[in-house]
Structure 1
Amino acid sequence: MSKKAKWLSFSIIAIMVVVLAGCGSSKEGNTGGNSKASDNGMTITAAGSTFVNPLFSKMFSEYNKLHADIRVNYQSIGSGGGIKQLTEGTIDFAASDAFMTDEDISKVKNGVIHIPVTVGAEAIIYNLDGIDKGLKLTQETLADIFLGKITKWNDAKLKADNADLSLPDLAITPVYRSDGSGTTAIFTDYLSTVNPEWKEKVGQGKSVQFPVGVGGKGNEGVAGQVKQTPGSIGYAELAYAVNNNISYAQVRNKDGNFVSPSLEAATLAAETAAANMPADTRVSIVEKSGEKAYGIVGFTWALLNVEYDDADKKKAIIDLVKWAYRDGQQYSEELLYAKIPEAIAKLNDTNIAKIQ
C-alpha cells in the first residue's frame, strides 16, 4: 500500500471513531433521571369522567402550553372505569362525578383524596320534531318516563304541564348510560331524592338496572343516541347538549319553578355547597332549594392517591391539579361549567397538602 493510501485509510478510521464516540455520548446523555425528563418531558396518565371531558380537554391543552414538558393523557372512559384503573394502580389519578365510598377507598393501595375541580349541570335532552324548546318536566313525570310508566309523548301528565305544545302520539325511548358513570350517579341520586318509587325499585349508583330504554356509552354516546332517535330522551352534561345542538327540557325545581340547566344554576349549586362542605368534600348537591336552583347538578372530583412513590411525578400531579382548580377555572364558564368557589379551593389546598 502506498503512503498516500495508508494516510487516507488512517484518516477515514479516525473520522469514524470520532463520529461513533459522539453518537455514544449523545445516547448516554438522553438516558435516565433528570436528563430524560428534561428532553422528553413527563406524561401524566388519568382516566374517568366523560362529564368533565370537554373542560379537561381545554384545561390540559392550555396547561401544556405553559409547561411544555408536561403532557396529560386523559382517557374519557366513564367514572366507573377511572375508579377501576385507579384501584388497579394503572393511572396517576382518576376523575369521577360520583364520590367514592369508604369501601371503595379501602381497596386502593395508596389511598384516595377527593379534590373537586368543577361543577356541572345535567341536561335532560330529547328529540321531538318541531319542539326544539319549551318542554317542561316535573320530578314525577321525569321519574315515570325512566320507570317505564309514561310511554307516549302525548300522555295526559305530560300534556298537563305542556298545554302550549303539540306533543305527538309517539313512543318515548329513554336513553341511559351503558357504562359505569358518574353522570348516571348524579341522575339516579336526583331521581332517588325526588321519587320514593325510584329509590325503592332502582336506587342510586354509577351502574343501575334501568327498567326501560337503550344504552349509550359515555356522555358522547347518549347524546349521539338521542340525536339520531326520534322520540328519545336522555341525560348528559350540558356542554354535550349545547355543542351537539340537542334540545333540552326545563325541569321543575324544589321551589316549584321550571328551570333550564345553565351555567348560572351550576354556579348557584356550587356556592350553596361551599357553605356546608364536609372536610373530605364528599357530598351530594342535587335538588337544593332556591328560586333559580336546578336539581340535577354535581361535582367532578379529581381522585388522587395519598402516596406516590415517584417524587417528581407526585409534584407534577399536584401542580397540575392545583392549577386546574385555581388558574384553570378561567376556562370553565365558556364551556358551561361553574367555577370552584374560593372556600372549596381553600379546602382543596388543605387536602392536597396531605399527599406524601
Structure 2
Amino acid sequence: MSVGRLLRITLATCLALLCTAAPAPGAAARVRAALAGPAVNGSGSTFAAPAIDQWRVDAGAKLGLAVNYNANGSTSGRNQFEQKLVDFASSDVSYRFPDNLANEPTPSFPFTYMPLVAGGTAMLYNLKDNAGRRIEDLQLTGELIMKIYHQYWKSNGNLFWDDPMIKAENPHLEFRLPNTRVSVVARKGGSGTTAVFTGYLRTMAPQLWHEYLSNTGQNCYGGAPCLPTSDWPAERGGELRADSAGLADFVASKDGTIGYAEYAYALQRNLPVARIKNKAGNYVLPTACNQAIALTNAERNPDGTYNLTKVYDHDHQSAYPISSYNYVIVPAGGSDPAKGETMAKFVLYSITDGQKLAADLGYSPLPSNLIKQGFDALVDVPGHPEIPTDPDKWGKFYESLTLPDGTTCGKAGETGQDGGGVDGGGGVGGNDDPGTGNGDQNGNNNQDPNGNNNQDPNNGGNNNNQNNDQNNNQTQNPNQNNGQNNPGGNTGQPTDGPKKNTPGNTGNTPGQDGGPTGGADPTTGGNNSTSPTAGGGQQTTTTGGDPTLALQQQQQTPGQSAGATANNLIDPRLAADSARSVDNTAKSVATPWTLYVVALVIIVGVFLPPPVLRLVRRRNRS
C-alpha cells in the first residue's frame, strides 16, 4: 500500500471519529429518561427541598427518572396540585390546615398523602459577642421564642440580645450576650414550616400567641383562641422571606438575626442553631435521632398525616420538640399511568434507598411503619411498579441512629411508659434515667451535628464517659475556648451545655461547658456522618463522586475513634443545587475537539509522504 493511500485512509478514519463523536451532554440521560417514562413535575415544601433535590439527582442517575421540583412553599404546592398544574405536591401539613377551618380548595379527584421525610425546624441565628466571636451555644425555650417575637413587635424593634429574659435562660452567656438589636425574620406567604412552627408556639405559650395574632389578618374564629397558621402575620413587623433558603441567607447576612427554617438549611450555610429546651428540661439540638425520638409521639390522622401536639411536649430526655413530617401528595386514580409509574418509582426510591442519606442531609430517616404506610398508599397510584413487602429493610436506617449512651433510636422508641407512639408503635416515655449510663451527663446529652457525638476531645474520640457526673462532680468540658482544644480544628456547632435537672436525675449537676465543640463541620467534609455508633464509631458513606454510590452505606466498627474513616458523602450544602451541578459537569466533558485535532496533526506528521519530508529537510539545511 502506498504512503498516499495510507494517508487518505488515516484522514478518513479521523473524520469518521469526528463525525461519530460522543453525543452532546445530557443526551444519555435524556435517552434513559425516555426509556423510563415521561417527566413529572412537582412543587411545594421548602422544608423537604434539600432532600427532594438530592433524590431527584440520584433517581435520575440510577433509574433514569426525570423529576422536576419547584420549592415554592407548601401552600403553593397544594394549590397547584389541586389545579392540576403539577403531577405531585410536597406539603408539611394537610389541606385546610388547621382543623379543617382554613378556606382552601381541595382536589376534586382522588389523592393520597404519604410521609416522605422527617425533620426538625431549627432556630437559626447569627450573633457575635463584643469581642467579635460567634456565639454558638444559645439556649431557648418555646415560651422564650414566643416572647422574642412578641416583644420585638411590642417594642417596635427595640429589643436587644442582652435583655434580662434572654440572659436568664443563658447564664453561661451572661457576659457574652451583646447589646445588639434583635432582628427577627419569618416566612412570607403560605408555608408548611410556618404551620409547624406556629403549632409549636401555640402549644408552648398559648396566651402570648393569642395576643400576638389577635387583630391581625388571621381569623381567630369568633374570639376563640388563635390557632396555628401557615401565613405569618406581616402586621407584626420584622423581615419576611418567601422561602427557607431566602430566610437562611438573610440570617447569615445580618448580625443579631434569628429566624426559623429546616435544619438542613443551617447545615448548608454553617449557621449555628439554638438548643431548644424539651419537657425533660434538657436543651437539645435537632439531630436525626433527637427528631426521630420526638416523633414517636406523633398520632396518625385518618387522612394519613400526623398530629404533632404530643411531639412538642415529648418527655424523653433527648426529644427535639419542633420535629415534624413532610408528605408527598399524589393522585390515587384517574391520572396518566405512564406519569404515575414515574411518580411512584420516584417516591418509592425516596422512602427506601433515599432514606440512607436523610441523616446526612439534616433529616431523620422514616421508621418501618411509615415506610409501610407509603407502600400501602403507592398501591393506589396508577401505573405503580411492584411494591416491596419488607419495610424493615429500610426502617433500619432509622433504628441504627444512636444516642450518646449507645441506645439506638429504634430501641428508644420501643421503651417508655406512655404506650403512645406512631400508629401505636410505643412511645418513648420517662423510664430512661439520665443519671445511669448515658453519654456525658455534664450537659452533653445529645449528638453534635458535626458528628462528634459529644465525645471528650482529649480521649481520642472514644466515648469513655470519664467525666462521670454520677458522683456529683461538677466537671468542666474543655470545649469552652471555641473548640481550640479539639483536634478537629474547626469550630463547630455547640454541644448541649448547661441543662436543668428534672426530678429523678440522680446526682447530676449542671454542666459548665456550653461551648462549641471543634470537630470537622459536616458540610465541609471530614466526619459528616450523624449516625455514630455506641463506641464512637461512625456510619460513613463513600461516593467516589457518583451520587448513586452514596447508597452504599458502610458501618464503621464500634470503638473506632471518630473520623477514622474518610467520608466523601455529597456535601449537604450542594443538595439544593445538585441538578445544576450535574448539568455543569456534563457540559465540562463535552466532545474533546481539541484532542481530536492534536491527534490528527500527529497522525499526519507520522505518515507524511516522503517528498514532503525531503522538502522539509532541504529547507532546514538551507
TM class, shorter-chain normalised? 0.7 to 0.9
Do the aligned partners of residues 104 and 348 (structure 1) sit closer, same or farther apart at CA in structure 2, a change above 3 Å counting? farther
Partner in structure 1 of residue 41 of structure 2? 45
Structure-2 residue corresponding to 1:172: 182
Assess if the C-alpha contact under 8 Å between 1:99 and 1:283 holds in 2.
no
Distance in 2 between residues matched to 1:37 and 1:258, nearest whole Å? 47
Q: Supply the distance in 2 between the matched residues of 1:300 and 1:39 (Cα, whole angstroms).
A: 30
Tell me which amino acid in the other structure corresponds to 1:88: Q
Tell me if the contact between 1:122 and 1:296 (Cα under 8 Å) persists in the aligned partners. yes
Return the letter of the residue paired with 2:282.
N
For 1:280, give the aligned amino acid.
D
- Out of 176, 193, 196, which is 1:186 matched to? 196
Question: Does the CA contact (< 8 Å) of 1:45 and 1:74 recur in 2?
Answer: yes
* 2:75 aligned residue: 80
- The match for 2:330 is 304
SS at structure 2 position matched to 1:80: helix
2:344 to 318, 333, 338: 318
| 1:326–1:270 Cα change, 3 Å | farther
Q: Given the superposition, is the C-alpha separation of residues 41 and 319 from structure 1 closer, same or farther in structure 2, using an over 3 Å criterion?
A: closer
Q: Deviations over 1:169-227 (max 9, x none)?
A: 12111100013111111111110111112442424122131523111121101101111
Q: Which structure has greater strand proportion?
A: 1
Aligned: 1:143 with 2:146: yes
Alignment of 1:334-345 (within 5 A): 334-345=360-371
Alignment-derived partner of residue 303 in structure 2: 280
1:126 matched residue in structure 2:
125
Using the TM superposition, give the Cα deviation of residue 252 of structure 1 relative to its aligned residue in structure 2, in angstroms.
Answer: 0.9
Q: Deviations over 1:107-158 (max 9, x none)?
A: 2121331110100011101111124311111222110111235822111111
Name the amino acid aligned to 2:352: R
Instruction: Decide which of 205, 211, 223 is 2:229's aligned counterpart.
Output: 205
Structure with the bigger RCO (C-alpha within 8 Å, sep 6+) is 1
Deviation at 1:307? 1.9
Q: Give 2:59's aligned amino acid.
A: Y
Question: Within 2, Cα distance between the matches of 1:132 and 1:36?
Answer: 49
Distance in 1 (alpha carbons) for counterparts of 2:56 and 2:334: 21
Superposition deviation, residue 99 in structure 1? 2.1
Give the conservation status (yes or no) of the 8 Å contact 2:37–2:338.
no
Corresponding residue to 1:257 among 282, 291, 294: 282
- Give the structure 2 partner of residue 225 of structure 1: 250
Residue 353 (str. 1) matches residue 379 (str. 2): yes
Deviates more, 1:125-134 or 1:201-210: 201-210
Aligned to 1:328: 354
3-state SS of the aligned residue for 1:348?
A: helix
Could you tell me whether the CA contact under 8 Å between 1:148 and 1:212 is conserved in 2?
Answer: no
Total equivalences in the alignment: 319
Contact 2:40–2:67 (CA<8 Å) still a contact in 1? yes
2:90: which partner in 1?
95
TM-score by length of 2: 0.49
Which TM-score applies when normalising by structure 1? 0.84
Per the TM alignment, residue 36 of structure 1 is displaced from its structure 2 partner at its CA by 12
Match of 1:26 in 2: none
State the match for 1:246 in structure 2: 271
Q: Is the 8 A contact 1:277 1:344 kept in 2?
A: no
CA change 1:194–1:323 in 2 (3 A) is same
2: CA distance, partners of 1:43 / 1:173 = 42
Change in CA separation of 1:104 and 1:315 when aligned onto 2, cut-off 3 Å? farther
- Unpaired runs of 5+ residues, structure 1, are 1-34
Q: Which residue of 1 aligns with 2:168?
A: 160
* SS of residue in 2 equivalent to 1:148: helix
Deviation at 1:278, TM superposition (A): 3.8
| Counterpart Cα distance in 1 of 2:53 and 2:138 | 31
Specify the alignment match of 1:55 in structure 2.
51
- What is the identity, as a one-letter code, of the residue corresponding to 2:179? D
1:236 maps to 261
CA distance in 1, matches of 2:307, 2:141: 20
**1:351, CA displacement in angstroms?**
2.4
Deviation sequence 1:237-282 (CA, Å, 0-9, x none): 1111111011211111122211112112122134443xx4345322
Give the conservation status (yes or no) of the 8 Å contact 2:146–2:209: no
Q: Secondary structure at the match of 1:153?
A: coil
Gap change, CA 1:198 and 1:354, over 3 Å in 2: farther
AA at the equivalent of 1:283:
Y
Contact 1:284 1:298 in 2 (8 A): no
- Please list every run of 5 or more consecutive structure 2 residues that lacks an aligned counterpart in the other structure: 1-30, 214-226, 383-622
Helix, strand or coil for the counterpart of 1:248? coil
Structure 2 counterpart of 1:20 = none
Distance in 1 between residues matched to 2:40 and 2:69, nearest whole Å: 8
Amino acid in structure 2 at the alignment position of 1:205? T
Once residues 196 and 32 of structure 2 are traced to their aligned partners in structure 1, the CA distance between those partners, rounded to angstroms, is 42
Alignment match, 1:12: none
Larger gyration radius, structure 1 or structure 2:
2
Whichever residue aligns with residue 294 of structure 1, its letter is Y
* Cα distance in 2, alignment partners of residues 295 and 36 from structure 1: 43
In the other structure, the counterpart of 2:517 is none
Q: For the residues of structure 2 that align with 1:342 and 1:146, how far apart are their CA atoms?
A: 38
Q: Are the counterparts in 1 of residues 187 and 232 from structure 2 also a CA contact under 8 Å?
A: no
Q: Distance in 2 between matches of 1:336 and 1:107?
A: 31
Query: Once the 2 structures are TM-superposed, how far is the Cα of residue 43 of structure 1 from its aligned partner?
Result: 0.8
Q: Which amino acid aligns with 1:97?
A: D
